[in-house]
Amino acid sequence: MRFRDTWALVATSVLLQPNWVTASSPPSALSWKEASKKASRFVSQLDTSETIGLVSGGYLSKGPACVGAIGAIERLGFEGICFADGPSGYARSDGVSVFPSGITVAATWDRQLMYQRAVALGAEFRAKGAHVHLGPSSGPMGRHAQGGRNWESFGPDPYLAGIAMAASVSGIQSVGVQACSKHFIGNEQETQRTTSTLDDGTTIEAISSNIDDRTLHELYLWPFANAVKAGTATIMCSYNRVNGNYSCANPELLSILKDELAFPGYVVSDWYATHETTSFANAGLDVEMPGNVSSLAGPAYFGDLLLEAVNNGTVSKARLVNMAERLLTPYFALRQDKNFPSLDPANGPAMLTYQYGHGSPLAAYYPEVPARDVRRDHAKLIRKVGAAGTVLLKNLNGVLPLKRQKQFGIFGNDASYPAIGSVYLDIGEHPEGFEMGTLDIGGGSGTVRHTNLVAPLDAIQKKVDALGGRLQVLLDNNDIADGLFRTIYPTPEVCFVFIKAYATEGSDRQSIELAWNATAVVEKTAAMCPSTIVIVHGPGVVAMPWADNENVTAILSAHYPGEQSGNSIVDVLWGAVEPSGRLPYSIPKKQSDYGPPLVNLTEPVTGSDAWHADFDEGQMIDYRHFEAEGIEPLYEFGFGLSYTKFKMGSDLEINVKSRLSSLADESKGIAPGGLKDLWATVAVVTVEVSNVGSLAGSTVPQLYVSFPKSTTPKQTPLKVLRGFEKVHLNRGEVKKVSFELARRDVSFWDATKKRWTIPKGAFTFRAGFSSKLLKAEATVAILK
């Protein structure tokens, strides 16, 4: 989403409500059928102009308190709908929590934490008065390691991302807030993600992601199917084109969504992603955002232009009614018409103060009022998720957890509280991020303003003080890279190095290298300190050329852990919490190993249709690519160390349902998510896991499936993830872990038949603790 400096330019008044209400428990949801009838009755009372107003974006009467809105219809008691960013917290406001990012929660591999985080997110949005949470995200998935928005999503594996999408949708909507699953689809790079204009007025079209039908279904569409099955209220179509047509005007894509997946909710455009009226409306776009909010903003193509199209018959009245009913059905299903909290009146002033500054008359137009603090006790959960999403990659000689050491040093510009204050970097600001201060969240519309932030330096200082120890500090990366350690004496027993990589909407990372001379910082510190522990805050895949340095005794990838960053890492370093995170992506030895490069046309572009990204690799991204090409990663997908040891039995028990057909039974019907039979369990795989170490701990048994080579089309990955569980085991404890496989899990998409198909022949099932550390194997045919 793009945020433009237009909020205060709209001639609208703000209604400050001194008697605002706090969030209350939502009423019980209506069935979709009941809500659909209610929506139909409501729309039947509207004239054409009012109906168009429902699907054309705009502002609520309360001013710029929402990033997007559906205006009120006061004569019918409809107060409007407020849309708010973003996937990791309520953006452009105050009194809110900064939650761990999507890639961080994916690294937990913990379904319960995925859900709990979403419940807390939804609760804060509801308490602020926002009806629609613009998240979760599964686009981009992470085709490119440098993707600017990879951190918002759940990683490049469709199975893991699908589980996280479903848990997130269910959690957000459990508290009566609409989940908006995004960005549909193929939005894998920020570079030329939308149109640009040359000096001569020529429009250069957005990049086209050219994806074959099988890859689309088995990779990029897969997590959205999970979201639809979980009941997502709305889906946001993306800026880019797919196979030559804009996502929001792509009849093939939107037909797959609405017909094949039976999605009953509404499709909303990304902000300013609509470029025409009739083709977008007729293709399946239901709601344009942000609409006609200002003559100085981007163009709007619904509103008056949609009215004209309906009047001249190029968009049918039936289609318009369908658009409005799709919008209102989840509104009524989640009972948002019943005692929904009012908008926090501070949202607008907080947003405008940031945009224009305290001295601006634009910001001053809206009186500054105290923000409604909606954080509750969410800091506890944030701390827990941040620790659970931290991945221990190296631990020489069991240096972690820390034991009796008293002399410590902190090095690197990522350790302290940000020098720029309450961090909030919107689109296009500081493409490299800020230099001095810890990085706990990425940039763009998905970032969140900090009401509170616990920096690593502060948390570690507090811990060392409690131990009666000493902490020496050197934060300037330039000084460290130059070897200026004159203030450090004596040499610490343990040196913590905090380094970072920033990623943001609106641009892609130039490389996977860590920023601010980080490699030199690690190498110089390690040359001085024989026990150097490196903590990385980043959006996912980063280069680690120093990983084999013998003085780098431990490496932790902490991702973007949210506002409790310091407390989360202290819990892991000293062993209050075990490091149970696992990589939701692979880390390459060098950037060129990872996969297809970003499309970035450096020569002057004059042709409007110049930007194309051909997804010729098919499904071979991340670990699938490494295995297909025989490339050894530095750290593989699913990898992570623990403070204890786990063992997996060598035997797999596989129970397959009898009398299965190769195709799903259409007579069983269709429901959100697709044919019901696709989601039916067809096999159960069980393996034994035990804790043979000296400490209690959690591990993540993972199940990978290899399809029969002779009966499956070419371009099939060597193996795919099809199951995982986070399992806590006490010392000496043994558990059996079972993975249920649905029909879809053992099917491939037949692009000719347009059907999911179980192939004949033997499947190979492998279980282990990462995509490479596979301990148990069995072969069985699904079709008998």
Residues with active-site annotation: 270
CA geometry: angle 128, 177, 336, nearest 5 deg: 90
- Give strand pairing partners of 495: 409, 532
Helix axes 456-467, 565-573, angle to 10 degrees: 40
DSSP, collapsed to helix, strand or coil, labels residue 219 as helix
Distance CA 551, CA 533 (A): 9
- Give strand pairing partners of 382: none
End-to-end CA distance of the chain: 49
- In the numeric block, the tokens 């995925």 are attached to 114
Q: For the purposes of burial, counting CB atoms within 10 Å of the CB of 486, is it exposed (0-12), middle (13-18) or buried (19 or more)?
A: exposed
- Give strand pairing partners of 697: 729
547: which residues sit within 8 A by CB, 6+ positions away? 393, 394, 555, 634
Distance CA 358, CA 365 (A): 11
170: which residues sit within 8 A by CB, 6+ positions away? 115, 118, 230, 231
- Give strand pairing partners of 287: 268
Beta strands in 241-372 (DSSP E): 241-242, 245-246, 266-269
Q: What Å distances lie between residue 56 and 4, 79, 188, 731, CA to CA? A: 18, 15, 27, 59
195: which residues sit within 8 A by CB, 6+ positions away? 203, 204, 205, 206, 275
Task: Dig out the tokens for 359 from the structure.
Answer: 């001295």
Determine contact, residues 143/595, Cβ cutoff 8 Å. Answer: yes
For the chain, the residue count is 784
Distance CA 125, CA 132 (A): 8
